[in-house]
Structure 1
């Protein structure tokens, strides 16, 4: 059966069309702007279809809890079209913000790891930096954050003392000492960072200069290769978070480290183990890891007086714990070294050396949920005001949900839940007093849920919520959902308000929490949240897609999510089609790019999404996730398609992708010229895409700016100019030559030293001499 043939919709999974909002026309171009633009031919026509909703006059988090509750109390929401105050308009950039994509993937990975028991906690589980510095670097028109962190001698000594060697550790050390840079390629949780610290210590790095460099994106390593502060004896660890580094960046860093007398260890993914100076990093023996950490913790633990009897009791307890069958079964199934270390910490904290280990291990298995129950317990502290209890519970939920966010987000979300949402679901005789100082964080937070902080650690920017253990996010949500049945309604209403927040960081986290809740009860969460968001305004459709993306990584829900999105794509409701297109640009599409592109092409041919940017957004996200060749092939087909809608989607995608920088191997090149240089067909497609983009009323204003940057970048690279100049002449051919001359002259006044711009003006203006272009035009 072909991909475009409808199949019967599975029972219970079908979607009904919602009520479509009225069509809103685009605002007219101001008369002054119209007069400034030369007359140019129109691009592909945009059919008069549904337009994105305009912004509301009120923000999404105004006091709307009553309205939200009214909409969500119904047992079924099929066919309903809620009105969400403040849902922001669609925008051509929100769907492919690289920072949002990185945060989305990072949270997915952390929660997936936490669900497998791999999250870290305790004194040895997080890197405490003795010194931390933050810089900002600019490359390709984007700002990148660079963080340098030094662990400190005490932390390095502790890591070295408990290290368990992995296979080929001696060969790794010899290669690092000779080449000054190696890659450790292995799974997350295999102990790569501890191995890196051990290797750097053994090749002679100073313990007070061993630390990490963290960057937003590997594109910035072209800048770090020149500007990274490397001192003799420094040891630098670079964790790519499973995003492999390009070979050009690695070679540049190796040369820089060798010249400075420093050493670099890159923690890379398993797929890069065959690269130069790369070593496969296997898990150490988990039993030996447990035994070594447990003995160190027992030997250094607090005791009234150290005696031979104490040491003998510790040794007996150590041997009994390591050899216990229940302990053996747990470490055999462990997915990470961190899990084993946490188990050692739990065993070392047992004051009864002769006690029942089975009971102790039962507590270990349920420790996150037990702590979560204590965190949300309504039990009052001595002298605590009664009205603070629900506020305290709401704040703790917000603190867990927004872990990693600035505390301002936590306070805002906690106030929203406790003061606006929950009261709508309660019956109160009087409104409780609220005093300004009732919001003191020390009164509201549970001490066991907060990561311990060092007094000498200087953190840049605002203070953030930091959990002692990432598993607490899921555990607190689990307790709130299953142990407090009456909290489900307020919790979902709260997420609905946050999913329309002005901040994309808040919207992203709210949508991902909805995806986690879908793992608890997919039917209810879909009926009350995701399915309604998917038929709401553009901001909420984006949140629905993010929630489905988060649910998709849960193996229990993968098939259901895939089937739901398939049904959305074939629904007669264009809002559901729009939501489906957004999901195909995320994890679901990344795992099967050809199928995702076929689905996007099928929806793109239809008139329902002709005025939506969701198809172009999804194609752009697939391009940025590594499917550049597949996307370029498809865009080349779309721009030449006889279908009236596909060329418009291709043009929208060009406007986005034209702003993306290329690889570090071709520093200064935009991504599209770097790709198109290899294939003549793509060059022809680029000409057609640019001509459509620069003449189309919807995209022309946004398209001229990346064209200006291409021309300026070509002044600094002869090969890039050799490619861009003839391409620009084809793009600016009649009837675009008049508008091109107008913009080129404006740019010439702004950039009097721009060589290529001046050359293009001469070539597009018959009879113009070099002297004329060198003067004021």
Structure 2
């Protein structure tokens, strides 16, 4: 239900009815004995006055309104062409004239038929009733007059939607407007607002029929269903009216002085809205809807509450502000699938006002809906329909489902990546269905805003992400990713093979972020089928000659381990140990990379021993995996001290393998700052300043790094950065001035060369100038 700007005062009047030149039609509810009220001035069986007036009008236009009239002229076959048109006696005497009159009587609601329909009226809460004004041959139409007080409240709470002013202008000029949008987007609320704003809150009705030809019946029976100065809201479901039907209804509504709003479900991708009557309806801003309904509900509660001290106006305003400012509210509103859910949620929030202290927290922390059920419904949606409006299998439908899957699994990736992923998945799905050919243009009909529209519980509202450049896929809840993986793997069995083939293809994508996302998805699949997914994907990645593939294998195992399943954790640890003990260099490298993830951070000392064993082998000399994993352990909680000790052992090792890995670790950790409070101080220097034993290890690391042919260039550049940063940190400058002079022997030619070059490039670098003087360079 849609909403407006100001919260209504309870009992506030709604928009008044427009003045009309004709007396209003009064519809009287049925008597308790289910008999129609009789007028003593009318003969037995006569209907109300409105029915007589409708008969008079209908008599004038009977040839236009008769659904049996197929558009033929008044001259029937067999009638002399020269017969005078006004020769009534001669027309009534012929059999064809009598047939025409019988047809006319069958289509005209007689007094008896009207009374029978009136007696079958249904009461709605005492405020509205349904009147069956159809005939035995036509569709049965039910006309429900909306309660004026509730309509006025809706009018007050309505929040504007896109193009609302144009909708109002179209309704004024054409007496007809069509709102096309997804269910739950507030179309009925917007239609009610437009009609109440035009006709008054007491002159709005809803027209309903169980028959399929509702709109055609309305056109045929317009004189009985459309009342001057009144508005009618008609829901058509997924059936789209044609241009000619809309034109005819617009002319009839204008002729009778009535206003009509049609509500149509938005179910197709490649539709053309029928101008000038139809508008795409998008739901209003959810936060504005919640604000209006929450404050209105609080005002109603305050008016009823007997505890005036706890329910004063200032307290309820503070409560509403606190609720709307809560950080959790964004996620709740993003997950809201309908406007009605938001209005109901506002009432639930008000119910927490006098509840237990944690009542509101419990409400905000409660999941909006079971994620797996939401995913199942989302993935089974079809955007392809046949001529009857029913879902049908097609290449477009397969592609739409592939794009939906890619959107969820591509959370936080640019939409261009999502489309790349979706196109590849679509090709794999079509191949699995044994299609002879793939669609020539698989994305030519694609509209992501409708395939994954906000309000479906999947995509977050775009409001807070409009500044994204590039625009990204955003989910209402990141936990939807593992939910989709689980539902696909266990609920869509035929998708397993296409999904595995798709993930292997993504790993080869030129964009590494897409390959990394494939590794994350594979890791989530490992939680559900470790043996099968490892055999089909991870094993090949771990043995691949590509460094990137081996990194993906380590990442997948880390994601699987993040599930905190003890059995799965033990299985992952065993697998990494198997890699470590393999004679294959690629598997050893994959093990070293896995130790730098959550696989290794759970036991830092044990992992350092495993890395020391791997680093002592010549097979890993070409790779930096040991260094990067050691750096990751250093940054883990409680990892700095054991890593510092391990580096001291490695740099003093007799073989040439571990010292090289230690130097690489220095180069990886060297640029990192000690923390936000010391942004200019390198973390390794900070550790050496606080622990004298670490200073000796750092000295050995620098001496080895500056003379290593493979890393000396990178090491000299890193040292320059340390010396420049020390100009902003006096304590660091004092430490490095003494420390640097210990690295080089006096008048070291390489040191003098680099210091002189840096001094020319950075004439304001104070520490570099002092070191140059200390070495005797000037």
TM-score by length of 2: 0.53
1:583 aligns with 2:594: yes
**Cα–Cα, structure 1 residues 715 and 467, in superposed 2: closer, same or farther, change >3 Å?**
closer
Task: Tell me what 1:668 maps to.
Answer: 680
Where do 5+ consecutive residues of structure 1 fail to align? 1-121, 124-150, 164-197, 213-236, 240-293, 303-313, 323-330, 344-363, 769-777
In the TM superposition, what are the counterparts of 1:8-87 in structure 2 within 5 Å?
A: none
What SS class does the counterpart of residue 668 from structure 1 fall into? strand
Q: Distance in 1 between matches of 2:719 and 2:560?
A: 39
1:388 aligns with 2:388: no
1:479 aligns with 2:487: yes
Shift of 1:508: 2.4
In the TM superposition, what are the counterparts of 1:180-219 in structure 2 within 5 Å?
A: none
| Alignment equivalent of 2:630, drawn from 590, 609, 619 | 619
| Alignment equivalent of 2:612, drawn from 593, 598, 601 | 601
Shift of 1:417: 1.9
| Alignment equivalent of 1:547, drawn from 556, 561, 565 | 556
What SS class does the counterpart of residue 672 from structure 1 fall into? helix
Q: Distance in 1 between matches of 2:706 and 2:743?
A: 9
Q: Distance in 1 between matches of 2:487 and 2:345?
A: 36
**Cα–Cα, structure 1 residues 159 and 466, in superposed 2: closer, same or farther, change >3 Å?**
farther
State the superposition RMSD in angstroms: 4.2
Task: Tell me what 1:6 maps to.
Answer: none
Shift of 1:162: 12
Task: Tell me what 2:577 maps to.
Answer: 566
Q: Distance in 1 between matches of 2:686 and 2:770?
A: 22
Shift of 1:721: 0.7
**Cα–Cα, structure 1 residues 714 and 153, in superposed 2: closer, same or farther, change >3 Å?**
farther
**Cα–Cα, structure 1 residues 625 and 432, in superposed 2: closer, same or farther, change >3 Å?**
same
Judge conservation of contact 1:152–1:210 (CA < 8 Å) in 2: no
Shift of 1:436: 6.0
Task: Tell me what 2:698 maps to.
Answer: 686
Judge conservation of contact 2:297–2:347 (CA < 8 Å) in 1: no
Task: Tell me what 1:429 maps to.
Answer: 436
Where do 5+ consecutive residues of structure 2 fail to align? 1-183, 186-285, 299-313, 331-339
Task: Tell me what 1:171 maps to.
Answer: none
1:713 aligns with 2:720: no
Task: Tell me what 1:514 maps to.
Answer: 522
Judge conservation of contact 2:669–2:684 (CA < 8 Å) in 1: yes
| Alignment equivalent of 1:445, drawn from 427, 452, 461 | 452
Tell which has more relative contact order, 1 or 2 (C-alpha 8 A, sep 6+).
1
Which stretch shows the higher mean deviation, 697-706 or 426-435?
Answer: 426-435
Which stretch shows the higher mean deviation, 376-385 or 631-640?
Answer: 376-385
In the TM superposition, what are the counterparts of 1:256-295 in structure 2 within 5 Å?
A: none
**Cα–Cα, structure 1 residues 686 and 375, in superposed 2: closer, same or farther, change >3 Å?**
farther
**How many residues matched?**
457
| Alignment equivalent of 2:621, drawn from 605, 610, 614 | 610
1:460-491 CA-partner distances (Å, limit 9, x unpaired): 32221122343432232223223333322221
In the TM superposition, what are the counterparts of 1:626-705 in structure 2 within 5 Å?
A: 626=637, 627-705=639-717
1:493 aligns with 2:501: yes
**Cα–Cα, structure 1 residues 297 and 389, in superposed 2: closer, same or farther, change >3 Å?**
closer
Shift of 1:209: 12
| Alignment equivalent of 2:539, drawn from 523, 527, 531 | 531
Task: Tell me what 1:749 maps to.
Answer: 760
Task: Tell me what 1:254 maps to.
Answer: none
Shift of 1:339: 4.8
**Cα–Cα, structure 1 residues 158 and 571, in superposed 2: closer, same or farther, change >3 Å?**
farther
Judge conservation of contact 1:425–1:490 (CA < 8 Å) in 2: yes
Task: Tell me what 1:763 maps to.
Answer: 774
1:460 aligns with 2:471: no
**Cα–Cα, structure 1 residues 510 and 365, in superposed 2: closer, same or farther, change >3 Å?**
closer
What SS class does the counterpart of residue 669 from structure 1 fall into? strand
1:412 aligns with 2:420: yes
Shift of 1:444: 3.8
What SS class does the counterpart of residue 659 from structure 1 fall into? coil
**Cα–Cα, structure 1 residues 595 and 462, in superposed 2: closer, same or farther, change >3 Å?**
same
Task: Tell me what 2:55 maps to.
Answer: none
Which stretch shows the higher mean deviation, 690-699 or 421-430?
Answer: 421-430
Judge conservation of contact 1:378–1:393 (CA < 8 Å) in 2: no
Q: Distance in 1 between matches of 2:320 and 2:364?
A: 25
1:732 aligns with 2:744: yes
**Cα–Cα, structure 1 residues 207 and 372, in superposed 2: closer, same or farther, change >3 Å?**
closer
TM-score by length of 1: 0.53
Shift of 1:158: 9.2
Judge conservation of contact 2:372–2:487 (CA < 8 Å) in 1: no
**Cα–Cα, structure 1 residues 617 and 430, in superposed 2: closer, same or farther, change >3 Å?**
closer
